Chain A
Amino acid sequence: MINNTDAVRVIDSKREDAVLVPTMNAGNVRFGLPTVTSNQVLDLPISGAMGKASNVGLGIALAQPGRKVIVMDGDGSLLMNLGSLVTTSTKQPRNFYHFLFNNGVYAVTGGQPIPGSEGVTNWEEVARGAGYAAVFSFDNLEDFTTGIDEVLAAEGPVFVHLAVEPEIENTPVQFRQRPTRSAQQAYQEVTAALAADN
């Protein structure tokens, strides 16, 4: 299994001018973004609407076809919006990269198992069946580090299944560290950065 922060770092190291759209463990300030990424003005963490990171990423990809969009999704989040795989496939965005941080649990809410974990659901088949153009899977850091170039060279929509270690959050909500950059601020910054580049 891959450590969550390591996975974020590998993706970030090859992002170039891509927009990152992370959520849950993959986007939590304590576990990764924004502290470990290199270009925060193009990071758009989604916390306000569980399951919608993939849709927000699709919207950016459609509006900015010349730029890569990298969604970093949670498994529980994607289950909540499984249809988004088909919504994305229907538009076949060549610049869309969908990384699934599969830790088998709802980590942020205390580590309860998600439906389909324990080997019941095969994510790669789900993504392939939904119509993604390319599907990859990694379960260790070495292979992922070696394979990331091929992943990002593939034409989208690309789905990447990552077996990651859960980083379970048990601190009562009122005592948790909050991101210093608010969601509104992130939206404004990313919108401005994309407008300035056009």
Chain B
Amino acid sequence: MTTAIPESILHPASLVNELKKNDVSHVVWLPDSETNFLYHMMMEEPTLDLVPVCREGETMAVAAGLWVGGAKPVVLIQNTGVFEAGDSIRGLCLDLNQPLVMLVGYRGWTRRGPTPDSAGRFIEHILHAWGINYYLVETDEDADRISVAFEECERLSRPVAVLIGTEFGS
């Protein structure tokens, strides 16, 4: 008899708990299919203020302003959005040593075979090129890496990425 191995999943609550634990005040974001469940939960969380933007390059800039004003933002975008936001990451996050956690939906990521989606193939190379460290989060067990990212970005005063390598379970 074969026993089905229960699939490990990432619940939105794990991520929201991490944001609360790290005193996040604002989530500056543009949705992707990976974060839809998360959206509903963030909306219901009174300690989080959502700032929706029209393109991802805005997120780092709004976050920079929030940070200057004394708030504690995170950015939540898809990896496609990282490609879109290049000049903001360079000219704000990196040039200003912004201690920013960027939660990035890892579109195209899979452990189970080839990665045909170029969004998945290029993202880690881009982060390496910029010298931005990152942590992969795929399951609830990985979620505490988000706290590791917060600790690191504040200690080094640098942006740190968290790649969300799964769609959220409901």
Contacts and interface: CB of A to CB of B under 8 A. Distances in A.
Given A52-B92, A87-B53, A58 B70 contact: no
Given A56-B61, A184-B96, A63 B88 contact: no
Interface residues of B, number: 32
Given A49-B91, A55-B62, A87-B58, A184 B97 contact: yes
Which of B57, B62, B90, B97 neighbours the largest number of chain A CB atoms within 10 Å of its CB?
Answer: B62
Which of B64, B66, B68, B97 neighbours the largest number of chain A CB atoms within 10 Å of its CB?
Answer: B68
Given A49-B92, A62-B26, A91-B51, A84 B58 contact: yes
Contact of B58 (A55, A190, A195, A198): A55
B70 A183 contact: no
Contacts, number: 115
Interface in B37-96: 49, 51-55, 57-58, 60-71, 73, 87-88, 90-92, 95-96
Nearest to A52: B61
A64 interface: yes
A62 B70 CA distance: 10
Contacts of A183: 95-96
Nearest to B26: A62
Interface of A: 21, 44, 47-52, 55-64, 81, 83-84, 86-87, 90-91, 183-184, 187, 190-191, 194-195, 198
Interface of B: 25-26, 28, 49, 51-55, 57-58, 60-71, 73, 87-88, 90-92, 95-97
19 contacts: A48-B92, A48-B96, A49-B57, A51-B57, A56-B64, A59-B64, A59-B66, A59-B67, A62-B26, A62-B66, A62-B71, A63-B26, A63-B68, A64-B69, A64-B70, A84-B58, A87-B51, A184-B97, A191-B68
